[in-house]
Structure 1
Amino acid sequence: MARAQVFGEVAELYDAARPGYADALVAEVLAYAALGGRAALEVGAGTGKASVPFAALGTPLVCVEPDSRMAEVLRRNTVRYPGVRVEHGGFEEWRSGGRRFGLLLAATSWHWVDPERRWDLAHDALVPGGAVALFWNPQGVRDAELHAALAEVDQRHGIVGAPHAEMASTYGDVPGNWAGVPGWPEEECRRDGRFTDLRAVRFRQERRYDTGRYLGYLASLSRYRVLPPDLREQVLAETARVLEAHGGGIDTEHFSDLFLARVR
C-alpha cells in the first residue's frame, strides 16, 4: 500500500486524534479567494479536518479523497452541509467534468500529490484568478528535557520526523521555516510562472496533548503506520513511559503555515 493511503487503516483514530486548523486561517483563505459563490475544490480531504470549518461558513466544496475508508468518515462529518460533495479517488486521476473552481485547497496533503503534475492539475481546475491555498500544521516541543527524552526513543528505533522531533524555537518566525524539512511550495510555484500574488502567513497556537491523545496522534501518522506492528507498539509504549514521567502529556507550539497564490 502507498504510504499516502495508510491512513485509512485508522480512519477513526485519525479523525479523533489529528489537530484541526485555526479559524483565523480559514478566514484568511476565504478573504483571499473572494469566492463570490463559486465552489472550492479540496485535494486529499481526509476525514474533513479542513472541510468542516470551510463548509460551516457556507463554502460549497468538492472534496477529493483517495482512500475509501477516509472518505466514509468524511461523508459522515459533512453530512449536515448540503454544499459538500465527496468524490473518491486520487487527484491525479480525478476528472472535473468541465467544472472550474474559485479555490483549490489542500490541508497537509499537497506533498502527496505527484510533483511532476500538481501545478498543471491545480491550474486546470481553477478559473482565471482562482486561488490556491496550501497549508500544514508543523509543531515543536516547548520542554527541552522532554524533547531530549523523546529523541532518545526515536533514535533507538530509527524514527525520523516525528511531531516532537524539533523544539518550537527552531521554527523561527517565517512561514515554511520547518527546521530544514523540505516541502514548502513557494519556490516551486514561483518557478511554474502561471500564478501570481504569492503570500505566506503563519498562525500560532499553544496546544497540550495528554498521553493518550498524543499516542493516538502518533499512531495516525504514516511514519508510524508503515512500521511493523510489534515495533510500532514498542515505540508507542516507550513514548508513553516518557510522557508519563514528564507530567502525563506534552506541551507544543502549534503552527499553521499557509501558502496562497492565484492563477494569472
Structure 2
Amino acid sequence: MTTPRDQRRVFGEVADAYDDVRPGYPAEVLDRIVAYAGGVPTSVAESGAGTGKGTALLRTLDTPLICVEPDPAMAGVLARRFAGDDLVSVVVSRFEDWTPPPGGVELLASAQAWHWVDRTVRTRLAAAALAPGGVFAAFGHDFGFADDELKTAMDAVYQRLAPEIADKPGLPANAQHPDSFHLSELHVSPLFTDVEQQLVVSVVPYETARYLTLLTTFSGHRMLPEQRRHRLHQALAELVDERGGVVEQKLTTALCLARRTGSDRA
C-alpha cells in the first residue's frame, strides 16, 4: 500500500534545487522589521527555516538565531550553509513540537512557511515563543508576472493541463498568498496587537530552464502526477521560449507584523 505524501514535506525531495533557484528576500524587508520592533532584537527564532532563504536575511542582524525546520533534507542544506557560524543553530523539528528558550525570544520570524504550521494552535504557539512585547514577522513571496500578456497565456496552459493549481481568477494582487490568510487570526487574538501588513515589490528574471527548476520547488507542482507535471512544464517551456526565453517574476513580498501583548506568558 502506498503511503500518501505529506505536502508539507515535499520540499525535501528537491532541497538543493530549492536552495539554488528560490529567490531570497530584499534587505528592505528586514529594515521594516527592525523599524517596527524599534531596534535590533537580541534573540531571534525562525519557524520553517527551510534551506535558509529567510535565514540569510535574518543573519545580518548579528543576533543569536535559532532555526526550526521539520524536514531533515532541508535542514541538512541549512546546516551546511551556516556550518561554523556560532550565531546560527539548527533544530530539526516541527514548530508545533519545539520548546522555546525560557523567557521567549524578541523576534519570531517565518519566511514562506507559516501557513504550514497547524492553524489551530499557531497563534498561541507564536505568543508562547515570544517575550512580552516581542515581534512576530511572517513574510513570503507571491510569485506573479511582470508581463501581463505572458501571465494570461500561462493561465490558459494551467487551466488546460492542471486546473487544480491554476490561479483563481478575480482575486486582488497577493490575495492568494497563503501567508496573508493568518492576518485575521492575529487581529482577533488577545495575544497580539499592532497587527499590520506591508508589501515589498521586486522583479527577478528567470531563463526558461531555470524557471522550470523553480516550478519543481512549488508544492502544488510536486503533488501532481509525474506525467502530468512533465506535460505541464513542457507546455510552459514552449510558451516561454516563444516569448524570448525569459520569465520576469514579479515578487510581491507580503510582510505581516504583530506585537506580543501583556506581561504574562501565553
TM over 0.5: yes
Change (3 A) 1:170 1:211: farther
Shift of 1:180: 8.7
Describe the SS at the equivalent of 1:252: strand
Q: Distance in 2 between matches of 1:122 and 1:35?
A: 20
Equivalent of residue 89 in structure 1, options 90, 93, 99: 93
- Pairing 1:255–2:259 present: no
Give the counterpart letter for 1:58 in structure 2. D
Between the two proteins, the alignment pairs up a number of residues equal to 256
Identity %: 36
Structure 2, gaps ≥5 residues long = 262-266
Change (3 A) 1:51 1:160: same
Equivalent of residue 235 in structure 2, options 213, 233, 238: 238
| 1:217 aligned residue | 214
| 1:145 aligned residue | 149
- 5 Å-filtered alignment, 1:40-55, equals 40-55=44-59
Change (3 A) 1:73 1:114: same
| 2:64 aligned residue | 60
Describe the SS at the equivalent of 1:128: strand
| 1:174 aligned residue | none
Shift of 1:93: 1.2
- Pairing 1:121–2:125 present: yes
Q: Check whether the contact 1:44–1:106 (CA below 8 A) recurs between aligned residues.
A: yes
Cα-to-partner distance string for 1:164-191 (whole Å, 9 max, x where unaligned): x489x952xxxxx425978432211011
Q: Distance in 2 between matches of 1:100 and 1:108?
A: 22
Normalising by structure 1, we get a TM-score of 0.90
Describe the SS at the equivalent of 1:50: helix
Normalising by structure 2, we get a TM-score of 0.89
Q: Check whether the contact 1:141–1:166 (CA below 8 A) recurs between aligned residues.
A: no
Change (3 A) 1:89 1:145: same
Shift of 1:237: 1.2
Q: Check whether the contact 1:58–1:83 (CA below 8 A) recurs between aligned residues.
A: yes
User: What RMSD in Å do the two structures reach over aligned CA positions?
Assistant: 2.2
Q: Distance in 2 between matches of 1:254 and 1:166?
A: 18
